[in-house]
Amino acid sequence: MNLELNFVLPHWLYWSVLALLPPAMMLMVRLSRRPGVAAEPSAEIFAHGEQALAGTPHNPVLRAIEGLSSFSGLFVAYWSLVAVFVYTYEVVARYAFNSPTNWAHEAMFLMFGMQYLISGAYCLKVDGHVRVDVLYSRFGPAVTAALDILTSIVFYLFVIVLTLTSWVFFAQSLSQEQFGFATGWANEVSFTEWGVQYYPVKAAMVLGGVLLLLQGTVRLFKDIQVFRAALARHTGARLPAWGMVITAGVLAALFVLEMVNVLVIGDDPERILFTLEGALSEVDIGSLTWLMAGALLVVLLAGLPLAFVTGGLGVLFIYLVGDQYMLNIIPARIFPLMTDYQLSAIPLFIFMAAMLEKAGLIEELFDVVYQWIGALRGGLAVATIIASTLLAAMVGVIGAAVVTMGIIALPAMLKRGYDPKIAIGAIMAGGTLGILIPPSILAIIYAVVAQQSVGELYLGSLLPGLLLSGLYAGYVALRAGINPKLGPAMPKEERGDLKQRLRLLRNMLAPIVLVFLVLGVIFTGLATPVEAAGVGTFGALVVAAMHGRLTWINVHDACVMTLKATGMVLWIIFGATVFVGFYILQGGQEFVQDLIAGTGLGPYGILILIMFVLVILGMFLDWVGILLLAVPIFVPLIAGLAFEGVFGLPGVPAEKVALWFGVLYLVNMQMSFLSPPFGYALFYMRGVTPPEISMGTIFKSSLPFLALQTLGLTLCILFPGLILWLPGLAYG
C-alpha cells in the first residue's frame, strides 16, 4: 500500500497564506479582547530593553507612520505560525508517509527572510534594537537628544544606501532593465524544483528599508522635540549639545552632496566640485584597521543601536575606500542571510520559549524544583540554578532567565533571609546558561558564520553547560552548608508532602518531555534543528492548551515577542556582515592573524589571548555583535593551529578544532555577561533588584561565579573530551 503524499505547495497558495493569515489573526485577537478592557501587558522574558519611546507625535503624518510600523510588524509577526505547521507537516510526511519535501524548507526560510527585513521598523519604534549603554543614559536629555540627532547621520547612511541598492537588486530580479518594468521581463525563480518567485523576497529588502527610513524620520523628529524642550528648560550642557547638532547639520550637507554626485551628476568628473569617494583608497590595512575600530567605538558609545553602527560605518568605509559601485555588494551580502536555512531555527526556538512562558510554566518550574530540594541549606538558590538550567533548555536566548528568575526567585530568597550576594549571583550565573545549553540561539549563529554543524555544537556544549551548572550549585551548597545564615533551608510549614510534590511534578511532565524530545531528535539526527524547532513549537502550543492557556491573546503575544527578539538579532547580523565583510575583503583577516601570530605565542597562548579579547569585547558589545565581528577573523586563525595537549593531556584533532573553539567561545560569552563593570547580566539584574541593593553589591555577587566560569573554561581547554566526546559518539 503506497501512503506517499506527494503534495507540492502551489505558489498561489503560498503567497495567499502569507497575505491572508495576518488579517485573520488580527480579527480573532480583536474579537477575543473584552470590550472596554485594555490589552494586558506581556510579561516579557526577553531582556532587550524593548520600551516604547515616550510620547506620541502630535503630527498626523508622524502618527500614521508609527501606525504603519506597528501594522507591518504585527502583520509579519503572525507568519511564525505558518512555520510551526509547515515544519510539523514536513516531519510527519517524511517519517509517516515517506514523503520528504523540499518546498517546505524553501518556503519557510524565504518567509522568515522577508520577516527579518520588514521587522526592522517595528523594532525601531519600540526601541528594540540593542545599543551600548555605557555612557549614553548618563547624559542629560539635551545631550542625549543631540547625540541621537548626530548619530542619525550614520543611520540614514546605512538605510538609504540599503534601500537604493536593494531597489536595483530587486529590479534586476523582476526585469532585465534596471529601473524599467515594461520590457525585459525576467521573473527570477529559485533553483529548486519548486521554482518559487524570488522577486517578492527581494522586494522585501526595499520595503524593509523604506519602512525603516520612515520610522527613523519619526525618531529624528522626536529627538528634535526633546532637544528643543530640554534647552527651553535650561537643563544640561547647552554648548556641547549645540555643537553636536551643528556637526550633524554639516555631515548631513556632505551626505546630500554625495547623493547628488552619485544619483544626479553620475560619472561626469568635470561636473563634480567635491567628493569623498575613494578618499581613503591609498590607506594601508593597518591604518584602516585603527580607523574602523576607532569609528566603531566612538559611534557605539554615542548610543546608536549596534545594527546601524556597523551597517552605517560599513557603507561609509566602502565609499571612502572604494567607490559607489562597490555599494552594490550590500544587498548581495544580506540576501544569503535572508535565505539561510539554519537561521530559521532562531524565531522558532524563541516562539517555543514564548509559548511556554505564556503557559505559566516558568514559575511552575521554579516551584517544582524548590519543593523538592528547598529543605536543604541553600536549597532556594540551588533550585534557582537548576530551574535556570532547565529554562535554558527551553529558551535558548540570553537575558530571559536572568530577568524571569530575578522577578520570581529573588524576592523569595530575600524574604527568607538569603545573603543578597548569594541570591543575585545564583540568578545571574544560572540565567546566563541559556547562551551555552542547547537550544542556544548563539550556537545557531556561530554555526552559520563558522560553517559548523548546529547538531555537533549542541552536543559539544551540553556537558560544559551541565558542568558549569553543577559548579554553581555545588558552590552555593558548600557556602550555605558552612554558614547556614547565607542560605537558610525552607521552613517546615512551607514544605509540601510527597503527594503535593508529585502533583507539582506531574504538571511539569509535559514541557520537560517536550524539551527532551526536541533535543533528542536533534542529537540522534532524526530531524534538523530547524525541523525540531518547528515540531517543538507545535508541542508548545499543545502544552499551552493542556494548561488552559492556548488563547488568541497569548498566541498574539508570543508572536510579537518572537518578532522583537528575532528582529533585534537579525538586524545586527545584517549590519555586521556589511562591516566585517568589507574589512575581510580589504585583507583585514590576514592582518589580524599576522598581528596575533607576530606575538610569538604558541597555539595555547594565542587561544588565551583570544579568550581575553572576547571577555573585554563582552563588556561593551552585544553577544551577536561580538560573534559577527570576531568569529570570522578568529576561527580561520584557530583552525590553522595545532593543539596537541598540555601537561601530557590529550590534544584536539585538527578537524575538530573549529568545533572545540566554538564551544569555548560559548563558555567565554557566559563570562563576558558577568564581567564588571559593563557585563549585560549585571544590568539585567539591576532592573529587577530592590532599590536598596547597590550596583556594587551586584558586581561583588558576580565575582565568585566569574571565577567558577574561568575554572570551567580552563577545564574545557585542558580536557577537550568534555566538548568532543558526545559529538564523537553521535557523528563519529
pLDDT at position 375: 67
Please give the average per-residue pLDDT across 459-484, as a whole number: 90
pLDDT at position 502: 73
pLDDT at position 48: 39
Q: What is the pLDDT of residues 259-315, one digit of tens each?
A: 888 887 766 677 777 788 888 888 999 899 999 989 988 888 888 888 899 899 999
- What is the pTM (predicted TM-score) of this model? 0.84
Helix axis angle for 657-674 and 420-431, nearest 10°, is 150
Query: Among 131-140, 419-428, 530-539, whose mean pLDDT is lowest?
Result: 131-140
Q: What is the pLDDT of residues 335-355, one digit of tens each?
A: 988 888 888 888 888 888 788
The runs of H, that is alpha helices, within 261-344 are 285-301, 306-321, 329-338
Higher-confidence position of 361 and 8: 8
Give me Rg for the CA atoms of the chain: 26
> Per-residue pLDDT for 73 more than 90?
yes
Identify the bridge partners of residue 175 per DSSP, sorted by sequence position: 185
Angle at 426 between CA 425 and CA 428, to 5 degrees: 65
> Per-residue pLDDT for 210 more than 90?
yes
CB atoms within 10 A of CB 322: 18
Distance of CA 370 to the CA centre of its chain: 31
pLDDT at position 53: 43
pLDDT at position 49: 37
Please give the average per-residue pLDDT across 179-199, as a whole number: 70
pLDDT class of 178 with cuts at 50, 70, 90:
very low
Share of the chain above pLDDT 70, in %: 88
pLDDT at position 180: 47
Query: Among 63-67, 591-595, 701-705, whose mean pLDDT is lowest?
Result: 591-595
Share of the chain above pLDDT 90, in %: 23
Q: Which of 162, 166, 157 is nearest to 316 (CA)?
A: 157
Residue with cell 574561568: 710
Q: What is the pLDDT of residues 19-60, one digit of tens each?
A: 999 999 999 988 887 655 444 444 344 443 333 344 556 788
pLDDT at position 484: 83
Please give the average per-residue pLDDT across 449-467, as a whole number: 88
pLDDT at position 534: 86
- DSSP conformation letters of 438-466: SS-HHHHHHHHHHT--HHHHHHHHHHHHH
Q: How far apart are CA 324 and CA 315, in angstroms?
A: 10
Q: Which of 725, 722, 646, 645 is nearest to 468 (CA)?
A: 722
Please give the average per-residue pLDDT across 214-232, as a whole number: 88
**Across the chain, what does the average pLDDT equal?**
82
Residue with cell 549596534: 306
Q: What is the pLDDT of residues 154-164, one digit of tens each?
A: 999 999 999 99
pLDDT at position 64: 92
pLDDT at position 430: 84
